[in-house]
Amino acid sequence: MYASQRRKEILKITKERNYISVAELHKLFDVSEVTIRADLRNLETAGEIERNYGGATIKDIKIPPFSEVTMLLNDAKELIAQTAAGLIQNGDSLFLDASTTTLLLSAYVAEIDNLTVISNSIPIFHQLKEYNRGTLIGIPGALNPITQSFVGPIAEQMIENLRVRKAFIAPKGILPEGLRDHIMLEAAIRKKMIDSADEVIVLADHSKFTTKQTIFNIASFDVVTTVVTDRDPGSMFKELFQAKGIKLLIAEK
């Protein structure tokens, strides 16, 4: 395949998926990652795509900063957080991932005694900075300024050395195959939290069940114990959850 043909195909795939990674393109076209990056630079120079996060998005597709994300579906996320708080017991140890829903959950966490709360989220630390009923532990690493969280090998290694009772995970997308994210390093952190927890509680508003811009795998539903959402996710997901023994909680006013 000529370079011009390959670039047309790359642009077509990127438009279909909204995001594509260098690693995936490398496998799809069986050329080196150096060649793929050159193709992406060419497409970016032409104004067709925007390179980021180890891949590319269509020019007008942007991942909003955390400050903007917090305003999206806030009522639904608040209901989910309130319901999820009912799953936390005195004495629990928790992972809270870096998400707007777990940030809302942290407000309820602040009212529960004798917890060990572990997170990589700066906003959650700000929320819990005066928490004196239990223990607050920070996960260090490289700062992701968009999500205001710490990620990378240092963060992942620390999580591997810990064990908690419950991990509260808010993925950016949910497919029948499992949980997904649109940022590779964030997906890796969530996976490590899941691997180091006895129970995995997924927090997902209804929009996450239709999100397509989420190509990075976090985990399959085999490791999930509970899903908390704000609407009926449909028969396909309900049948899947029942088959996997996953408890489904639909938050209501």
Q: Average pLDDT, stretch 33-47?
A: 86
Residue 225: C-alpha distances to residues 117, 147, 221 (Å): 19, 26, 8
Q: What is the pLDDT of residues 47-97, one digit of tens each?
A: 778 887 678 877 654 555 555 555 556 788 999 999 999 999 999 999 999
Residue 96: C-alpha distances to residues 6, 31, 53, 129 (Å): 41, 39, 23, 15
**DSSP one-letter code for 60:** T
Q: What angle do CA 4, 213, 247 make, to 5 degrees?
A: 150
191 pLDDT above the threshold of 80: yes
Q: In terms of Cα–Cα distance, which of 41, 62, 17 is closest to 175?
A: 17
What's the pLDDT score for residue 178?
94
Q: Which fold does the domain 67-250 belong to in CATH?
A: Rossmann fold (3.40.50)
Highest mean pLDDT, choosing among 122-126, 159-163, 183-187 = 159-163
Each domain of the chain, given as residue ranges in start order, spans: 3-58, 67-250
Which CATH code is given to the segment(s) 3-58? Answer: 1.10.10.10
- Which residue type occupies 205? D
Q: Average pLDDT, stretch 91-106?
A: 96
The whole-angstrom separation of Cα 91 and Cα 195 is 21
Q: Average pLDDT, stretch 175-203?
A: 94
Q: How deeply is 94 buried, as exposed, middle or buried, from its count of CB atoms within 10 A (0-12, 13-18, 19+)?
A: buried
Percentage of the chain modeled with pLDDT above 90: 61
Q: Average pLDDT, stretch 114-139?
A: 95
For the ranges 127-141, 172-186, 187-201, 203-217, the lowest mean pLDDT is seen at: 203-217
